[in-house]
A and B are shown apart, each in its own frame.
Chain A
């Protein structure tokens, strides 16, 4: 390859898009490293504390798209104190100072302030795309800055965010000259929205493909928006409440029939179930349906809707669908690839192993599952494993912690064992129910492609964790809570953690002494002890058990923004 001029090699590299592949390419030789780094446009940083913004900018000056993840996964479940970290301001500041022509920023579990959004909006002329997932720290003022200043904005996508809503006029801040929007998602905003401004914005956005509204957008506005944007591919409905005999309903029905491009539907944050027949014409083309925020849709109305969705590939639903409803899904949705069943909080609505078995039998293409259920049996899991060996993601959450197989009263080791043995491409696994060390033996033995494992209230001894650390060669993220794994498990193979992104252990048996030993041996890990009750201040006893430990590999040492209650050993 030395015979080719750099431009040719660079051109070849243009076809290498996945970050993994580009990382591999950069390791071949110095010349390739250089060509690759100068031409790399898209960078993914799985842990914002593993590297500094300056080093990323230094290596990839041509950076256009940056993806950053901050807090560990268990932060989603309130296991991490509020101001632990994950501030993105330093990144935006560093990028602004440099000559990087940032166009896209995608953040997950990070803290984003209004100042940061303001700086972002003013610093990059070609900024096009902002995607925030499970982030916090900003208000609609920040959104107003993005709307006002990003002249070529294509995408503004807010997912699962609790925004401190100022009921501001942020949507009016898009200038009349802004006609470039392709994707706008503000479904998670709680406050009111200027409906006229919204209508005018949609009217002047001919490229708009994805529009997700919040609950403040009433039905008649929805109808007007759909009239303006019949080309929509992805629609998130806010409020779907009206009188079925009204003119508004008739108008909407007619309008929806014209929206032949809609492939993805979500929302229904407020809904009157009897009026869903207007949606039926849209259902036959749907590949993605998310009703997991629509507790108002259930029972027969829900099942009627599902029966129209023959092309569905992705379904997110509440457990109010019941086993019977899942049976209808299994019968109807033969193209289904991803299923997520969330808890609705209503006890008698939950699903059981029956629903899952039906799905595994009826949906041969299913490979991604998140399933909150009332109970599970080994027999069912073994059947699922037999029916379907395609799973890449298998997350099972039995709501009752440590619940055994209700038929045999046995732990669920054999069931999960069957899953990992059958599904050779399994990359992500979450366990629940009563589990002994045996399940970890199976995981270590069979789950060769496993990258992420979530453990809660499981196992008997250090052996469990050791089976996993020894066996799962591709493990990147391990998160454990309330399980009896201690120092022996933690310290047996300390080198392993440099091959992983991170390890979380909370309410386990590791002690302060164990963590300190690990930190001493592995200087390229940050071992953080997160300390909520001021326990550690009173006693620096090595034998004291650690409440929460989060460790991750890093090239830049202990972070300087750690709050008082985080102790980096």
Chain B
């Protein structure tokens, strides 16, 4: 009857992180229009860490009964204020940002933004040749001069390259190590983009 052991993370991942080392997310019961599905697909294809898969198992487990199969991380647990969490682990999170074809990289402090929209706007300022166009369901990043489209990707704590925008914002901040704006033409093999998150992602 004993529940599974807590999903202990390797030392290097844990540090003083309280609760969200970059995997899992809210346990949504429904699967309509799901980002979770996309993530699953990408993970299986790229054979990334099993954390996200464990989360999907937990999703099913929680929907059925109260006995959790595995304990993935969830948003907001343990219940510690965001301020306290960031005070304990240090006050800034600088990551390198590379744009395919640009001669040098930039660095941004992810901690000062609250949403994907804010981050992309900041990137737009930093790389002045880029524009973010807001289409109906998507944001596209486009080079003003030659119309080349970019896809924002990031490397997470497990060393995998992910599409920016799938996980809640705070989870992204925790797990992102660096950002790369990849040319769309090179982003073959990634599943079709699901409707982009709006800035409400917490």
Residues of A within 8 A of B (CB): 74, 76-83, 134, 160-162, 164, 188, 190, 269, 292-293, 295, 342-347, 372, 397, 399-404, 409, 434, 454, 456-457, 460, 481-482, 484, 507, 532-535, 537-539, 544-545, 547, 563-565
Most chain A CB inside 10 Å of its own CB: which residue of B15, B26, B71, B111: B26
- Closest CB of chain B to A396's CB: distance in Å? 11
Other-chain residue from B3, B35, B81, B112 in contact with A402 (beta carbon distance below 8 A): B3
Q: Can you list 27 A-B contacts with CB-CB less than 8 angstroms, sorted by A residue number?
A: A78-B76, A78-B82, A82-B115, A82-B169, A82-B201, A83-B200, A134-B81, A162-B83, A162-B86, A188-B87, A190-B91, A269-B87, A292-B84, A293-B84, A343-B80, A344-B16, A345-B16, A347-B8, A372-B78, A397-B79, A401-B71, A402-B66, A402-B68, A482-B74, A484-B66, A533-B28, A535-B28
Secondary structure call for the A interface: loop
- Closest CB of chain A to B138's CB: distance in Å? 12
Other-chain residue from B8, B32, B111, B112 in contact with A535 (beta carbon distance below 8 A): B32
Whether a CB of chain A sits under 8 angstroms from the CB of B30 is yes
- Closest CB of chain A to B39's CB: distance in Å? 12
Whether a CB of chain A sits under 8 angstroms from the CB of B202 is yes
Other-chain residue from A347, A434, A456, A533 in contact with B14 (beta carbon distance below 8 A): A347
State A288–B87 Cα separation when bound (angstroms). 21
Given contacts A343-B80, A402-B66, contact A78 B75 (CB under 8 A): yes
Question: In the complex, which residues 88-139 of chain B have their Cβ closer than 8 Å to any Cβ of chain A?
Answer: 88-89, 91-92, 111-112, 114-115
For B79, the closest partner residue in chain A by CB is A77
Other-chain residue from A161, A293, A482, A539 in contact with B27 (beta carbon distance below 8 A): A482
Chain B residues near A401 (CB, 8 Å)? Answer: 68, 71, 74, 77
Given contacts A345-B16, A345-B88, contact A81 B32 (CB under 8 A): no
Report the count of interface residues on B (CB-CB < 8 A).
53
Given contacts A76-B81, A372-B78, contact A82 B18 (CB under 8 A): no
Interface Cβ pair total, 8 Å cutoff: 140
State A165–B91 Cα separation when bound (angstroms). 12
Other-chain residue from B79, B84, B200 in contact with A532 (beta carbon distance below 8 A): B200
- Closest CB of chain B to A274's CB: distance in Å? 21
- Closest CB of chain A to B198's CB: distance in Å? 7
Chain B residues near A190 (CB, 8 Å)? Answer: 91-92
Task: Assess whether A534 is in contact with B33, with CB atoms less than 8 Å apart.
Answer: yes
Secondary structure call for the B interface: loop
12 more CB-based (< 8 A) A-B contacts, given A293-B88, A534-B195, A535-B33: A81-B202, A83-B199, A343-B18, A343-B78, A400-B6, A404-B2, A456-B77, A507-B26, A534-B33, A535-B30, A535-B32, A545-B29
Chain B residues near A399 (CB, 8 Å)? Answer: 78
Given contacts A82-B199, A347-B14, contact A295 B88 (CB under 8 A): yes
Task: Assess whether A345 is in contact with B18, with CB atoms less than 8 Å apart.
Answer: yes
Task: Assess whether B82 is in contact with A76, with CB atoms less than 8 Å apart.
Answer: yes
Task: Assess whether B86 is in contact with A482, with CB atoms less than 8 Å apart.
Answer: no
State A82–B82 Cα separation when bound (angstroms). 12
Task: Assess whether B82 is in contact with A345, with CB atoms less than 8 Å apart.
Answer: no
State A76–B202 Cα separation when bound (angstroms). 11
Other-chain residue from A82, A269, A544 in contact with B30 (beta carbon distance below 8 A): A544
- Closest CB of chain B to A297's CB: distance in Å? 13
Task: Assess whether B80 is in contact with A77, with CB atoms less than 8 Å apart.
Answer: yes
Task: Assess whether A77 is in contact with B77, with CB atoms less than 8 Å apart.
Answer: yes
Chain A residues near B112 (CB, 8 Å)? Answer: 164
Given contacts A80-B202, A545-B30, contact A456 B88 (CB under 8 A): no
State A538–B83 Cα separation when bound (angstroms). 35
- Closest CB of chain B to A561's CB: distance in Å? 14
State A409–B3 Cα separation when bound (angstroms). 10
Chain B residues near A454 (CB, 8 Å)? Answer: 79
Task: Assess whether A547 is in contact with B28, with CB atoms less than 8 Å apart.
Answer: yes
For B83, the closest partner residue in chain A by CB is A160
Other-chain residue from A83, A164, A342, A482 in contact with B80 (beta carbon distance below 8 A): A342
Chain A residues near B3 (CB, 8 Å)? Answer: 402-404, 434
For A547, the closest partner residue in chain B by CB is B28
Chain B residues near A403 (CB, 8 Å)? Answer: 3
Chain B residues near A343 (CB, 8 Å)? Answer: 18, 78, 80
Other-chain residue from B2, B8, B33, B170 in contact with A533 (beta carbon distance below 8 A): B33
For A190, the closest partner residue in chain B by CB is B91
Given contacts A77-B77, A82-B114, A481-B76, contact A565 B198 (CB under 8 A): yes
Task: Assess whether B66 is in contact with A77, with CB atoms less than 8 Å apart.
Answer: no
- Closest CB of chain B to A124's CB: distance in Å? 28
Task: Assess whether B81 is in contact with A77, with CB atoms less than 8 Å apart.
Answer: yes
State A403–B87 Cα separation when bound (angstroms). 28
